[in-house]
Amino acid sequence: MKVYNFSAGPSVLPEEVLQTAAAQMCDWQGSGQSVMEMSHRSKTFEPIIQNTENLLRRLMHIPENYDVLFLQGGASTQFAMVPMNLKKGGKAAYVNTGVWSKKALAEAKKYLQAEEIASSQDKNFTYIPAVNKIEGDYDYAHITLNNTIMGTHWKHIPETGKGLDGKSIPLVSDISSCILSEPLDVSRFALLYAGAQKNLAPAGVTLVIIRKDLVTDNPIDGTPTMLQYKTHTENASMYNTPPCWNIYMMGLVLEWIEKNGGAAGMKERNEKKANLFYDYLDKSDFYFSPVEKNSRSLMNIPFLTREKDAEKAALLNKEFVSEAEKAGLVNLAGHRLVGGMRASLYNAMDIQGIHALIDFMEGFAKARA
Amino acid sequence: MKVYNFSAGPSVLPEEVLQTAAAQMCDWQGSGQSVMEMSHRSKTFEPIIQNTENLLRRLMHIPENYDVLFLQGGASTQFAMVPMNLKKGGKAAYVNTGVWSKKALAEAKKYLQAEEIASSQDKNFTYIPAVNKIEGDYDYAHITLNNTIMGTHWKHIPETGKGLDGKSIPLVSDISSCILSEPLDVSRFALLYAGAQKNLAPAGVTLVIIRKDLVTDNPIDGTPTMLQYKTHTENASMYNTPPCWNIYMMGLVLEWIEKNGGAAGMKERNEKKANLFYDYLDKSDFYFSPVEKNSRSLMNIPFLTREKDAEKAALLNKEFVSEAEKAGLVNLAGHRLVGGMRASLYNAMDIQGIHALIDFMEGFAKARA
């Protein structure tokens, strides 16, 4: 029996996508091969990667002057690739909205003067700082659009002023945990990256969308060939063997998104789920959301009990996670930095999962009233 | 209908492995989740990665003082990680046996004084140079144990002399295209790496076997966190999300290898196939192998026709590949640097595939006699 999987990633995939993958496993469309067996340079695999890229371009309205890359190494590798490839004058602006932006900032500091221009650390990252415009002599500015651990999300995209070269400062964003959860104006960004294991595909492929003018011949000295964007733009993600199966799975997931209304359809679906859950939390006298209302993520929803005694609260959380698991609601433990619980409601999570979760929560609370 | 897939990688997987993967796709062993949906930090996924590592250690007899890592980025990323992490005095020795060792050497030159201490370029890499012992003030020595494009294989492992620190010079090897094709004495090496997409798993995971004393606190300045071996040894390949599905598939393939006699069983199986094919080539007056007999690979077998006119030969090759494909024998085109054709006979290729290939070749030759 399938469980409801609230994992922050890798996470739930659409059931019909898994069924298609199983049905096509041994022989993809009469090719006599599994997708996992195909030479990446064969005419059998070519339409598969092309289909995935076409779907991404269509669903995200990616302008022609952007390259789409299928890389490896996760967002963590992008934390280094971004400064290594985008460094010019030697300064970059980072907004610190929690664990992942902190990691991006720390990695960037190896390569240039990375400045924390705003932070929400004062309130344990429970809100998005009011940054409307980023100005200064920066090579680029970096934000984490959705914060998987903290459960916050930027509701606006900051403007950027003119950089040293007279052009707008390129805006870079980690969109791992919100990609295609709602429409996004790609043209406002110079570079977007996302680990696939939340809304796109199984873990093992990293999506990069980069404006072509940012692809440089001159990354910093010592940048490994595999960490230069140019290596991959010049070879259409085929400089070496790409993660073919993961790219195929991404195509299947994107087809499912398209069939379900695209980014707008996902937004409607995700708002329904998140609103249902936030409403429940806000009305509850047992649970609550620690995140400010105007900064709340549609994807990742941390929640706590109102128990004030730290020891009792920790015990309660443990009981919650363990009993939820027995009820078929898995991966609800919160991140240790936030505590409590967290429900990730990615695109593929069905609204029935939220109803089941709320029913369980209600029962758990009543038994302790 | 399944084809016989002679691709150099990604390549054929055991049919029963694919069937197991399909059967377990939607619900792995009653967990209610697909392996692709599991949180990598969950107790559901833990036995999967542990099983893969245990099988590798058992099948390869990996000593306890070695770490086993599941990374991303392919052998191409290792070309940079090796010098970035192993540099001490600043010199390394490389043996040039073709395209991939050349690429490894070129990448290493970014970070240290990498010396080509031997090469088989004089005869278009159709043999392995006679290197019995590597001596000098080198931080490490690097060989490519099996050369996928050239079809050569080291039949002996070179000794290494004492380095600057009085210990044996660490021997590093790319074993992407021969891992577990036959027994290998891991203890003779300090570091082994392999892209998985030949004998191990679908593309997207890179195996690294590293002797623990080589894991350094001091990689060269500017080494990205994700490119430091220590990042991954300290976190048991879980610093960030690993390619979970690919690791699971590797486990299934390793179970198949174990059931079929382990590395020794694979050697027997592979020698039968390769001997059959080389014997045919050596007796043929239409085809031949360009590779010297004592350097021939069990895995990758390039072959040419005896047509001397270059233009006619090119046309003949094209006809061969196209007609073979119609007969269900796919991915037989040779690499452009060698020309002609190439048959890769990885572990999962059944001997029936070689019989079918020889039958086809015989017919193709007769029709042109």
pLDDT in tens, A237-247: 999 999 999 99
pLDDT digits (tens, 9 = 90+) for B318-334: 999 999 999 999 999 99
Q: Taking the CB of residue A299, how many other CB atoms lie within 10 A of it?
A: 30
Instruction: Judge whether B347 is closer than 8 Å to chain A, CB to CB.
Output: no
Distance between start and end Cα atoms, chain B:
31
B245 among known catalytic residues: no
Measured in angstroms, the CA of A133 and the nearest CA of chain B are apart by 30
Residue B104 pLDDT greater than 90, yes or no: yes
- For residue A294, how many other CB atoms are within 10 A of its CB? 10
| Paired strand residues for A96 | A119
pTM of the full structure: 0.98
How many beta-carbon contacts under 8 Å exist across A and B? 223
pLDDT (tens digit per residue) in B44-77: 999 999 999 999 999 999 999 999 999 999 999 9
Instruction: State yes or no: pLDDT of A236 exceeds 90.
Output: yes
- Tokens for A12, please give them: 């739930």
CB burial string A246-260: b at 16+ within 10 A, e below: bbbbbbbbbbbbeee
Compute the distance between CA of residue A324 and CA of residue A319 in angstroms, rounded to an integer: 8
Q: What is the pLDDT of residue B1?
A: 78
Q: What's the pLDDT tens digit per position in A273-291?
A: 999 999 999 999 999 999 9
Contact between B34 and A18 under an 8 Å Cβ cutoff? The reply is yes
CB-CB contact of B209 with B289 (8 Å): no
Average pLDDT score over chain A: 97
pLDDT at A87: 97
Catalytic entry in A28, A87, A139, A198: A198
Q: Are B334 and B344 in contact (CB under 8 A)?
A: no
Tokens 């220590």 belong to: B230
Beta bridge partners of B174: B144, B193
Answer yes or no: do A15 and B26 touch at CB < 8 A. Answer: yes
- Is pLDDT above 90 for A24? yes
The angle, 0 to 180 degrees and rounded to 10, between the axes of the packed helices A244-259 and A262-283 is: 80
Q: Which residue is closest to A104 within chain B, CA to CA?
A: B225
Tell me what the mean pLDDT of segment B120-125 comes to: 97
What number is the average pLDDT over the span A36-48? 96
What is the rounded CA–CA span in Å between residue A164 and residue A139? 8
Nearest CA in chain B to A244: B203
Contact B243 A239 (CB under 8 A): no
Question: Which residues partner with B119 through β-bridges?
Answer: B96
Q: What is residue B62's three-state secondary structure?
A: coil
Residue A326: other Cβ atoms inside 10 A: 9
Q: How confident is the model at residue B179 (pLDDT cuts 50, 70, 90)?
A: very high
- Rounded distance between C-alpha atoms, residue A302 and residue A125, angstroms: 12
3 state DSSP class of A304: strand
Q: Is A331 helix (H, G, I), strand (E, B) or coil?
A: coil
Continuous H helices in chain B: 15-23, 46-60, 74-86, 99-108, 229-233, 244-259, 262-283, 310-326, 351-366
* Tokens matching residue A63: 């302008």
Kindly state the helix (H) or strand (E) to which residue A58 belongs, with its residue range.
Answer: helix A46-60
Among the listed residues B87, B154, B174, B245, the single catalytic one is B174
Q: Which residue has the higher pLDDT, A202 or A216?
A: A202
Say if A97 is an interface residue toward chain B (CB within 8 Å).
no
Q: Which residue in the set A22, A79, A245 is minimally distant from B204, CB to CB?
A: A245
Structure tokens that stand for A337 in this block: 């930095």
CA angle B346, B154, B75 (to 5 degrees): 60
Closest CA to B169 of B76, B75, B86: B86
Measured distance CA(A259)–CA(B207) in Å, rounded: 38
Interface test with A, best of B1, B33, B87 (most A CBs within 10 A): B33
